[in-house]
Structure 1
Amino acid sequence: MVGIQNATTEPNECIQAGDGTSATNPFESRSLSKRATASEDCLFLNVHVPSNISSNASLPVIVWIHGGGYAAGSASDEAQDFVKETGFQVISVNPQYRLGLFGFLPGHEVKEGGALNAGLLDQQFALQWVQDHIASFGGDPTRVTIWGESAGAGSVLQHVVAHGGNTQPPLFRAAMMSSLFLPFQYEFNDTIPETLYSEVVDQSNCTDAVDRLACLRATDVSVLTAANTNLSDANFFGTFTFVPVIDGDFSIERPIATLNKTQLNGEVLLAVTNAFEGNLFVNQTMFNGTNITLTDYVTQLFSRLNAEQIQHTVDLYSNVSDLPDVVLQANAIMGENIFICPTYFSLQAFGNKSWKGEFAIPPATHGEDLSYYFGTSPTARTFNSTAFFSAFSDSFFNTALFLNASQKIDNSTITPPWATWSEGHTEMLFNQTEGLPSEPVVEAIVTDDGLLGRCEWWRTLAPINAQ
């Protein structure tokens, strides 16, 4: 579509899928329905500008990348709230990107005849668009911050390590990650991605085609959507089927490998994790009245670990005093491997230019922090404290405006001085007191050494787990 369009309604969202619901990992043996508003014609972005912006303005820009496991989500997140919450000192942009098999179909045939990681390339194109055009809206292309939650934060990491951490010309100066999501990221032609591609081909009736990729392109979108949904639902509980792969171009190696080299796009990092990231991605009743053990769970989730590595993992988490039962241990394994430890690896890579926060407002599970970013979502919060909301949300705006989480946009917030994470592994805890009325707790804490030790175990396994 060309020409002037009326930006009076939200765009069609990209075709959606979901996470796995299977009790066992399908990759052991094979070594959301389409919504009314979903469409292949979905590559739009929203630009939110202060109503009182001057003609010669050159404001910082926050690009919000939505989450959803690379399978769901849209530009409907209230990113316009960032403009108001900063006192009309920023412009916000939130792009859409292709999801599920439409954005992350792997395999050598896609490499040879198409584009791997198309969803990430959509995001990159949006960032390039910001560089080329945001000045027309009063934005400063040299002061761009990228921010996302869950797979949105995972996307931020993908751009931090893109092209080996050397994207030229630079597309942003600051990175902000809320609940960084780093699933297993295989080589595009690894056994698992190739099997996944073949399953898409089979479910699309393209198995006998001379050119299977051309057949997929000619297949009705409803058939592809069904395959997208079926394969996503069939995956191991709490995991996602279509995710980024190492493509040799945009993603040239495992993200943790690039982080270990401290080769990075971006100047500073603010990273926040929730206290209980893994709970939503573990079946909380799977151990009830069954013979399933933690060893069984680890074996299914990490299909490429050997018996010795599995046993060490089980022993490591079985001996944590704060994890007295098998459900809590499974929650911690999922949360630390996929979300929390990759966050610390990122903080280490940015050195003295990184800040760490922990969101602990009960229940502090994955996604609970979202309503504390958007000013129009107070009814979704379990803790309605203006002082807390300002302190927490302003942390991100401080970083976007000043490249420093401790330099305040509003000096009245209750956040104390905030050291970088490299200074004694200092974090900022965002919590509340117990009882009624509850009061906000915003204070500096030190990262648990036991947690960091477990993270080092996951770092050693990263080449095997493809992270």
Structure 2
Amino acid sequence: MGTSDRAAMIDLLLVAKGGHEVLPFNQAMFDGILRAANCTTVACLRDAPPEVLFKANSFLINEVGDGSTGALGPLTGFTPVVDGKYIEDLPTALLARGSYNRKMHSLRLFERPYLTPMTTLSNASSRCMSIPQTSLKKFHGTGRPICHFACNAYFNAKAYKNKAQRYAMTIPPATHGLDQTYFLFNSNASTPATDIAAAREFQEYVRRFVTSERNQEDYRGLDDWPNGPGETSFEIVLGSFEVQKGLLGCQPPLSSLE
């Protein structure tokens, strides 16, 4: 799963070595830890002496990049886990029963001026790009977005046929990455969404795609995803999922080497 530049990286890996590269999606981090401990199996890692694990941890903390996240360790970094002692239970459960630190006065990182509210971004977008709602359909699929996002999704879905599903998110304010709040929607407090019903339906479509399951009791009236994903997709708009045919203006690109 990737968003923005991470999605672009997945796209590049899918065509690496003309499609013959061994994809690292399921084992990259795992293999890196094994290599750091000079092991090839989990059993070897479990039996490794403390000095080997110390060197492996030192490598992961000091030499593996964190992707500019500022975390301790690779990518998102090392974090505590629920072990029954240091972390007794899930954070939500501990918060609910009052087992939390009351000496914290303010979570400074998550309030102004350290955080820009989504409404600020939305308002700025509206002022800079004032487009009447009636003109959105005419504009959609043309201009700058088609170069950066739409063609990539179109040809990806067309190549992988029934293994892929393509959609276009046009629910206002339609800012970059906004679909993630629908994809991972929990509540308007943590993942605000303009159309909660669309968020729940979106998640149901994702569940069906991942599990290869059909309609469930709660969503029997939900249409199946359109067939022929390269040529047909859903456009997610306020209040509905609308079938979209083809992709206006998206033609097979010339090779960058030509």
Normalising by structure 2, report the TM-score.
0.48
Between Structure 1 and Structure 2, the one with more strand by share is 1
- By relative contact order (CA 8 Å, sep 6+), the higher-ranking structure is 1
Which structure features the higher share of helix residues?
2
Task: Look at both structures and tell me which one has the larger radius of gyration over its CA atoms.
Answer: 2
TM-score of the superposition, structure 1-length normalised?
0.28
